[in-house]
Chains A and B, each alone.
Chain A
């Protein structure tokens, strides 16, 4: 069974803290994504990665950075957390091999982050 796991389901941090969100996939997927999900706004892409050590900005990268040192792991970093970064964070992975489900992104369960 395919799986994307995220390090925490719930996280509470203080303004100014550095926050690490971890995502691991076991499907040998090339592409990985970080989204945030807010009511009425849907899923907005923060960053994505198409290979190890490769990253591209999504639609809302400000205040975030990412790291992909290994194929299976994609980390989202909030350098200095702010209250407007309180949100649900979702990680996803996808393959571009034609033998796979090239139009399907597999999502983790999400991390609900609260910044006080």
Chain B
């Protein structure tokens, strides 16, 4: 079983809809939770990160972490065609782990005009 599970999609939504993405994990030592966005033929770039449980909002993006359920989510409001990309969740146990992350498989999102 993988440490981090993420549905690869693709997830197709109309412009303006809410995009809901999630990951589950099995390692209770994870404390830092990241979402990366990867456009076609590019490397991933950090979108948001959250420490421990709770919510974090940045513009149209909201990240949620539920450590009791080992479940994290990313919501994109008012989705735009420019949001079409692959979204990868990543997790880390903390600064004593040499910065190693465990990545999910990535979910491909397509926002249609």
Contact = CB atoms under 8 A, between A and B. Distances in A.
Partners in one complex: yes
21 contacts: A33-B100, A39-B8, A40-B105, A42-B103, A42-B105, A43-B44, A43-B88, A48-B99, A48-B100, A50-B98, A50-B99, A58-B100, A90-B43, A96-B95, A96-B98, A101-B46, A102-B99, A104-B46, A107-B43, A109-B41, A110-B41
Contacts of A48: 98-100
B95 A109 contact: no
Contact of B101 (A4, A105, A110): A105
Given A39-B8, A40-B105, A107 B100 contact: no
A103 B88 contact: no
> Interface residues of A toward B: which range?
20 to 34
A104 B4 CA distance: 18
Interface of B: 4, 6, 8, 32, 34, 41-46, 49, 88, 92, 95, 98-101, 103-106
Nearest to B4: A42
Contacts of A45: 100-101
B103 A43 contact: yes
B99 to A, nearest CB: 5
B99 A105 contact: yes
Nearest to A101: B46
A103 B105 contact: no
A56 B88 contact: no
Contacts of A12: none
B42 A109 contact: yes
B98 A56 contact: yes
Interface in A60-82: none
B104 A42 contact: yes
Contacts of A109: 41-43
Nearest to A43: B103
B44 to A, nearest CB: 5
A43 B102 CA distance: 8
